[in-house]
């Protein structure tokens, strides 16, 4: 089976730099994947792509040395099975609040006997290779999103769930759950403290910690504190941010 670059980087102790695809545009995805991100995540929760477009985005990303991932809309077996069948090599699942939620994610994403995923990978077989069925369970990654107060109270049990490879911090939802306003770069001490606790607990449990970042500086800071999977902006936010910078410069 085609190796998972994300797993290889983690195994070497490195950091995965992840691009985020919110737009439904194949041109935007091609541009993002071409610049050298280790992986690109199609956002099916808050992004603009539907299932058909997601498949097309996976195909575009797969032209490059860039691992296709998906942030699914929910911990739904049918939705998870679909993106995996379409060649997605990793699932980022929102709102994993309990160890039962984490176990459900694993069950939904793995073939028996580890899980209950139905067999029929279609494009996944073309992208992954002829031995997909034998090696998919050990190749595809699962990341549980930690973004609520409840998830924080169950953090260690979630991290220790068999089949969970990493956790992914959603700082905005985490801030809201803790009673604070969301910010692209969190500065509230309680939110920052919670994120620091997450990366410590993840490291103690032997799983990777990832985080969505509102700036390059934020990403570098959290890498220094132990995060091994970082996203900066989205394709849409990057476009708007750069356009705003250019217009401001022109108006000066």
Q: What is the pLDDT of residues 204-217, one digit of tens each?
A: 999 999 999 999 99
| pLDDT confidence band for 45 (50 / 70 / 90) | very high
Q: What is the pTM of this model?
A: 0.97
Smallest CA-to-CA distance from 22 within 41, 38, 37, 36 is with: 41
pLDDT at residue 245, as a whole number? 97
| pLDDT confidence band for 122 (50 / 70 / 90) | very high
> If you average pLDDT over every residue of the chain, what do you get?
98
| Residue reference for tokens 């910078």 | 245
Per the annotation, the verdict on 46 as an active-site residue is yes
Q: What is the pLDDT of residues 84-108, one digit of tens each?
A: 999 999 999 999 999 999 999 999 9
Q: What is the pLDDT of residues 21-38, one digit of tens each?
A: 999 999 999 999 999 999
| Phi, psi (deg, nearest 5) at residue 78 | -65, -40
pLDDT at residue 162, as a whole number? 98
**Catalytic pick from 3, 34, 46, 179?**
46
């Amino acid at each position: 089976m085609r190796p998972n670059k994300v797993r290889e980087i983690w195994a070497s102790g490195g950091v995965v730099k992840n691009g985020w695809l919110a737009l439904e545009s194949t041109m935007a995805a091609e541009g993002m994947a071409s610049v050298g991100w280790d992986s690109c995540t199609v956002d099916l929760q808050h992004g603009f792509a539907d299932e058909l477009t997601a498949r097309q985005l996976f195909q575009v990303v797969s032209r490059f040395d860039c691992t296709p991932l998906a942030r699914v809309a929910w911990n739904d077996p049918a939705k998870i099975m679909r993106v995996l069948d379409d060649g997605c090599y990793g699932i980022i699942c929102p709102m994993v609040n309990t160890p039962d939620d984490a176990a459900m994610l694993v069950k939904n994403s793995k073939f028996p006997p580890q899980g209950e995923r139905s067999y029929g990978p279609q494009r996944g077989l073309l992208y992954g290779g002829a031995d997909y069925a034998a090696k998919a369970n050990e190749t595809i990654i699962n990341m549980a999103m930690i973004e609520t107060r409840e998830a924080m109270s169950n953090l260690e049990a979630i991290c220790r769930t068999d089949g969970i490879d990493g956790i992914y911090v959603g700082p905005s939802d985490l801030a809201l759950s803790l009673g604070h306003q969301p910010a692209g770069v969190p500065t509230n001490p309680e939110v920052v403290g919670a994120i620091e606790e997450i990366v410590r607990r993840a490291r103690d449990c032997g799983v990777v910690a990832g985080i969505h970042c509102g700036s390059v500086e934020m990403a570098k800071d959290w890498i220094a504190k132990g995060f091994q999977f970082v996203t900066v902006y989205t394709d849409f936010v990057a476009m708007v941010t750069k356009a705003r910078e250019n217009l401001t410069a022109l108006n000066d």
